[in-house]
Amino acid sequence: MQVSEIRWFYRTQPVQVPESWDLSRRHLRLETLNHKFVKLNSFENRINPKELTKYCIRYAPRHVYASALKWLFPERVGRKCKANFAVPFAGDYAVDIDAYVFRRWNIQHDCLRHNGVCRQCVDLSKRMTVQLCEKM
């Protein structure tokens, strides 16, 4: 896909975001076609769907990422020197556990030989998620 095609898409299909998401409190980044990330949040410029559409037209991103959490200061998310002041106040934690994690942890699992999700996948993911939550 080329930049002109992506820009055309965002000009003709404005970004539709449910109001409950409250983009002004989300940490937002765009991934450009050359795999660079553009951070959209700044204190002076809280993002709304109309502004997000403008950024998408300008940067023609291959992906748009938004945090699952709502932040008191979303512009502080990411930088280690400011991260201690980026206070989350709402949202859900999302845990994504992929098959390569099973391989890395040397977990023997039949499902790795084919596509799909089995009961053992779900059980392993649940156990890893509980361990992660306990550590947090």
Residue 33: predicted pLDDT: 92
Q: Is it the case that residue 11 has pLDDT exceeding 90?
A: yes
* CA neighbours closer than 13 Å in the CB half-sphere of residue 64: 21
52, exposed or middle or buried, with CB in 10 Å at 0-12, 13-18, 19+? buried
**Across 46-50, 58-62, 72-76, 97-101, least confident range:** 97-101
Residue 105: predicted pLDDT: 66
Q: Mean of the pLDDT values across residues 92-99?
A: 66
Comparing 43 with 112, which gets the higher pLDDT? 43
Q: Give the bridge partners for 69, in sequence order.
A: 91
Residue 5: predicted pLDDT: 93
Q: Mean of the pLDDT values across residues 64-89?
A: 77
Q: Is it the case that residue 124 has pLDDT exceeding 70?
A: yes
**Per-residue pLDDT band at 94 (split at 50, 70, 90):** low
Q: What is the DSSP letter of 39?
A: E
Q: Which residues of 87-103 are buried (b: 16+ CB within 10 A; e: fewer)?
A: ebeeeeeeeeeeeeebe
Distance of alpha carbon 12 from alpha carbon 57, whole angstroms = 10
**Contact between residue 111 and residue 118 where contact means Cβ atoms under 8 Å apart:** yes
| Average of per-residue pLDDT values in the chain | 80
